[in-house]
Amino acid sequence: MKTIDELLAEGVDGKRVFVRADLNVPLADGLITDDGRIRAVLPTVKALADAGAKVIVASHLGRPKGAPDPAFSLLQPAERLGELLGAPVAFAQDTVGPAAHDAVNGLEPGQVAVIENLRFNPGETSKDDTERGEFADRLAALADVYVGDGFGAVHRKHASVYDLPARLPHYAGHLIATEVGVLKKLTEDVARPYVVALGGSKVSDKLAVIDQLLGKADRILIGGGMAFTFLKAKGYEVGTSLLQEDQIPAVTEYMERAEKTGVELVLPVDVVVAPGFPDLKAKASTEHTVVDADKMPAGQLGLDIGPKTGALYAAKLADAETVFWNGPMGVFEHPDYAEGTKAVAQALVDSKGFTVVGGGDSAAAVRTLGFDENAFGHISTGGGASLEYLEGKTLPGLAALED
């Protein structure tokens, strides 16, 4: 895999460089609530612009249905990119049409343009190789060189991620090179103890990675909504908590395997429960109590790990040489249910080991809860991509960058 450093050494002055970024930032009422992914691609965009390239930045945002939708426009991320660069960024209101060509043709060396949401074109996500390839051909006409730097999308076999690199000289950007280096530290010659903390809502999203980690990690800590399927598998009452009953057989088998193989699989010992889900906009204080994990009332909803569990997990993380954390421990967006996630984040900050926050909601939680990003070894921009890499899958976007 050639890197941007090699491209810069070859020279890019005056060349049109297509950067596949991941500007898929969370929006609320049309405003960006977390610009972490935009900041993550900044080093690549700035290096290319400073070297005299004509930089074309492309990304997806959300899940539009293959047609333009103002709710998913990249205009806001483009404007934020310009603010962070400290320079104007042109914005094209289409992906491969007249506006995109005009924007690119209007670039001077060192200038940047963002084209509209790639998923506004059905060819971007098509399962049909021909349709996807035709869209990739039209994207390729905009550029001389391709730089892949959208790590959050490399697990997708999409036109701009998988097909386009085959049509242009291709290189990995700074972000992808960093992400791959970090993931190798989690899979090759890992420093031990190796502790993994998994949270989030659905256990089904994490089953494949748990399957792989049972042969690699020393400890796996389970939290978030997914914990209730594990607790139910132990025979506990989980009230109205999030539960995937169809996953109980798989969860039971993993708990048995963990015991046999000596992997410490740690479940919550207490949980924070409430009569219902809180209002995340108002964030007003709600009625809630802490109960032991094996004594949940039938009519209550589990929304966070409890304080005893937070302390237990911190202790289990204290001696770790390597930590991977993916998924919040509770509904961190509401102050009444953020303490479990805070406890795990603080344990990573206090850790002397190599700590990785695995993208998505975990990265948002770290920033929302006011932690210094530099206190962690690495904050990934791609939760799904990180998990699939740890599962041992081939990621199309990485394979496409290899020669």
Kindly list the catalytic residues.
37, 202, 360, 384
Alpha helices in 106-206 (DSSP H): 129-140, 174-187
Contacts of 263 (CB under 8 A, 6+ apart): 213, 214, 217, 218, 219, 220, 257
What is each CA distance from 104 to 55, 225, 304, in whole angstroms? Answer: 8, 46, 48
Strand partners, 196: 220, 324
Q: What residues does 220 pair with on adjacent strands?
A: 196, 265
b or e along 69-85 (b: 16 or more beta carbons within 10 Å of the residue's beta carbon)?
Answer: eeebbbebbbebbbebb
Sheet holding 89-92, edge to edge: 89-92, 112-115, 54-58, 16-20, 145-148, 170-172
φ and ψ at residue 319, rounded to 5 degrees: -100, 10
Distances (CA, A) of 336 to 116, 278, 303: 39, 9, 9
Task: Tell me the C-alpha distance between 354 and 202, whole Å.
Answer: 26
User: What's CA 32's distance to the chain center, in Å?
Assistant: 16
Q: Measured in Å, how far apart are the chain's first and last C-alpha atoms? A: 6
| Helix (H) or strand (E) run with residue 258 in it | helix 248-261
